[in-house]
Amino acid sequence: MPYEPVLLARINKPNSGKLEGYRADGGYETIARVLKDKQPLDVTTQVKDAGLRGRGGAGFPTGLKWTFLPKDHPGPVYLCVNADESEPCTYNNRILMEKDPHQVLEGIMLACYAIKSPKAFYYVRYEYGDSYRSLAAAVEELYAAGFLGKGIFGSSFDLDIVLHRGAGAYICGEETGLIESLEGKRAWPRIKPPFPAIEGAFRKPTIVNNVETLACVTQIMKRGKEWFQSLGVPPDPKNPRDAGSYGPKLYTLAGHVEKSVCVEVPMGITIRDLVEKHGGGVWKGRKAKAVNPGGLSMGFVDVNAPLKGEDGKTEYDIPLDFNGPGRVQCLGLGTAAVTVIDDQTSMVDVLHNVCQFFSHESCGQCTPCREGTGWMLKITDRLRRGLGRKEDLDILVDVADRIGIMPGTTICGLSDGAGWPVKTAIRKFRAEFEAAIKSGAKSKYAKSLTMAGAH
Amino acid sequence: MAALSEDMKNRIRAFIPKYPRKQAVTLPALHLVHDELRTVSNEAIVEIAEILELHPSEVHDTMTFYAFFKGEGEKLGTTRLWVCRGLACMLRGAYELIEHCEHKLGVHCGQTTADGKVTLEFAECIGACDGAPACLIEDVHAMNVTPEKADQLITELKLK
């Protein structure tokens, strides 16, 4: 039976962003019922038992994160909504915010009630102007209806939501970078511990949650934990660290697919099914060569590489759950943004583009990241100009291996994320890079784009 | 003469009650000034700092972290046109599109046309990958931008 979308169920309705339309579909009945019948801890328990893992990229269990707040803190406690969705090829939060902002706002109310927070700071990346306007109109409607402010829905619970705009910096998606930026400072990630749950925004205990995660909270509280657990993939018995991948998930398709769309399906769908059934296949009747399965920092899948121990299957057949991409040396599921690269595209150009991104977006606070991402960019630039040297590929992998967080060299995960695409591209497509070095051929982009003085 | 009008100062002050600390109003204030004056001069920084009870260097420090804001000696054109060069856009022709816009406008990325109408920039990723190659006009997405569509957009921007 085909899966019936829940998170995206309303997006094609006329006026899907309006309070009236949301209420006609049963919107805000869940929060009203929860405020009347349940204690904050009940919400946390239900979200925890459902097995919801954060959709922002790291996949940390949401309910468990909420329990990290100090028990007897005099308050206030804050919720920060992370809508600084800046991982290239990712746009699932944008769809939710533009088309169904109230579903997310109800999730915020539920989360704030669970963590006893009187205020949510909603951090929206600057580039999402339409999302911001859609949210601002929705928040205004809520205040006008008396659904925000003092004693919401006739309870004794007070809640305010403050929309806050970013200013075009990828690092603001890192939770402590976001907090620093919210506080009015440069978005330099903080050294942890203390984690935000202990000392976050304005030095108060803070929970940072992703937009899609909060939309899932709305659905879990509406439909129950059993419904959520009936979807997706249970934990892999061979992997003691896997906490399962439950529930529906938004996947975004981009790059060389016929249809670049955001689709909602249960966790665990394979890349092949996603591209072929939902993306209409590879564009122009071509074949895929590589896939970036979840945002640039997750690395690359080699579509033609056989999958170990599974006859006839290739890396194209890995399931997109929290556990799947790790089986083919990728970092993880990430943001579930699937970018397809066709067989007529140079991986040298692709890797240069990726290195350009991370070098530009490194906040510069930690030397290994600042210098390492720049070093990788210089080498990939050399490769695309046809000036690559034999030793360049080993140097690239070596730099990528050393600048990550695993040896504890940097404060946040940006440098680790910058390393995965480099390591996986060189390891999986080495022959193509070697051929490029040997031929000394210039990329078609090598002479263009001065990019002088640009932001 | 003051850089900020009394109205702008009042609009900045209106943000203060939303946050536990005044410093949190730094980004909203910078956006407000930048939107209206198309730059944030040193004098504007001093005036923002006065309202937020900060040292001007604190506002300057934050502002310069976000290359988004234009500072003293720089000024945006009437409209800011960003061409995205993120991976999805690159795969679908963003580099060619940037080059096309540079030729059409007669400027490189980061520069403003001689008539002061359009500032051309590239963006790392604007989250409009479903409409790649995509542009951002101020903060509004333009999707599936072909060279022809870019010409049309530029003509419209030049008329503003």
pLDDT category at B160 given cuts 50, 70, 90 is: confident
What average pLDDT values come out for chain A (455 residues) when binned by 10 residues? 92 94 97 97 97 94 97 94 95 97 98 98 97 98 97 96 97 97 97 96 98 98 97 88 92 97 96 97 97 96 93 95 93 95 97 96 95 95 94 96 81 94 97 96 73 37
Distances (CA, A) of A442 to A436, A447, B93: 8, 9, 18
Do residue A454 and residue B28 have CB atoms under 8 angstroms apart? no
Do residue B86 and residue A129 have CB atoms under 8 angstroms apart? no
At a CB cut-off of 8 Å and minimum separation 6, what does A345 contact? A256, A289, B91
pLDDT at A404: 79
Backbone CA torsion sign across A121, A126, A132, A136: positive
B22 CA to chain A: closest CA distance, Å? 9
Gap between the Cα atoms of A97 and A337, Å rounded: 17
Is residue B57, in this structure, part of any structural domain at all? yes
Task: Give the class (CATH, top level) of A19-230.
Answer: alpha beta
For testing contact with chain B, the best of A139, A353, A362, A363 (most B CBs within 10 A):
A353
Gap between the Cα atoms of A147 and A28, Å rounded: 9
What residues of A are in contact with residue B118 (Cβ under 8 Å)? none
pLDDT category at B117 given cuts 50, 70, 90 is: very high
Do B59 and B115 fall within a single domain? no
Domain that holds residue B18: 6-65
pLDDT at A337: 97
Looking at the 3D structure of chain B, how many domains does it have? 2
Shortest CA distance to A232 belongs to which of A213, A217, A249, A215? Answer: A249
Residue B99 has pLDDT above 70, yes or no: yes
Whether the CB of B27 is below 8 Å from some CB of chain A: the reply is: yes
Give tens-digit pLDDT for A203-257: 999 999 999 999 999 999 999 999 999 999 999 888 888 889 999 999 999 999 9
Do B59 and B95 fall within a single domain? no
Considering CB atoms only, which of B19, B86, B109 is closest to A454? B109
pLDDT at A242: 85
pLDDT at A455: 36
| CA torsion angle A449 A453 B3 B8 (round to 10) | 50
Q: In A, residues 94-153, which contact B (CB 8 Å cutoff)?
A: 94, 125-130, 132
State the burial class of residue B2 (Cβ atoms within 10 Å of its Cβ: 0-12, 13-18, 19+).
exposed
**pTM value?**
0.96
Is residue B89, in this structure, part of any structural domain at all? yes
What residues of B are in contact with residue A341 (Cβ under 8 Å)? 91
What residues of B are in contact with residue A160 (Cβ under 8 Å)? 18
Within a 13 Å sphere around the CA of A278, how many CA atoms are in the beta-carbon half? 22
- SS3 label, residue A367: helix
pLDDT at A451: 42
Is residue B60, in this structure, part of any structural domain at all? yes
Q: Is residue B125 annotated as involved in ligand binding?
A: yes
Instruction: Output the CATH code of domain A347-439.
Output: 1.20.1440.230
Do B84 and B61 fall within a single domain? no
- SS3 label, residue A21: helix
pLDDT at A407: 64
Indicate the CATH number of A245-342 among 3.40.640.10, 3.10.20.600, 2.60.120.260, 1.20.1250.20. Answer: 3.10.20.600
Is residue B32, in this structure, part of any structural domain at all? yes
Residue B1 has pLDDT above 80, yes or no: no
Q: Report domain extents, chain A.
A: 19-230, 245-342, 347-439
Q: Is residue B135 annotated as involved in ligand binding?
A: no
pLDDT at A408: 77
Pairing of strands A248-255, A262-266: antiparallel
Q: Which of residues B16, B34, B65 is at a domain's end?
A: B65
Give tens-digit pLDDT for B121-139: 999 999 999 999 999 999 9
